[in-house]
Amino acid sequence: MAGRLSGKIILLSGGTRGMGEAQVRGMAREGAQVIFGGRDRAAGTAIADSLDGNAHFLPLDVTKAEDWRAAVAFAVGKFGRIDGLVNNAGVGATRPLVDISDAEWAGIVAVNQNGVFFGMREGARAMLASGTRGSIVNVASPAGTKAHANLVAYSAAKAAVIGMSRAAAKELAPQGIRVNVFIPGFFATRLLTETASSAALDRGAQLTPLGRVAQPEESVGAMIYLLSDESGFVTGTQIVADGGYTA
Positions marked active-site: 154
Query: What's phi and psi for 35, nearest 5 deg?
Result: -100, 120
The whole-angstrom separation of Cα 178 and Cα 84 is 9
Pairing of strands 238-241, 178-184: parallel
**Burial of residue 190, with CB atoms counted within 10 A of its CB: 0-12 exposed, 13-18 middle, 19 or more buried:** exposed
Q: Any residues with CB less than 8 A from the CB of 199 and at least 6 apart, and which?
A: none
Three-state secondary structure readout of 124-144: HHHHHHHCCCCEEEEECCHHH
The whole-angstrom separation of Cα 31 and Cα 28 is 5
Q: 180 and 120 in contact (C-beta within 8 Å)?
A: no
Q: 15 and 216 in contact (C-beta within 8 Å)?
A: no
Distance of CA 213 to the CA centre of its chain: 19
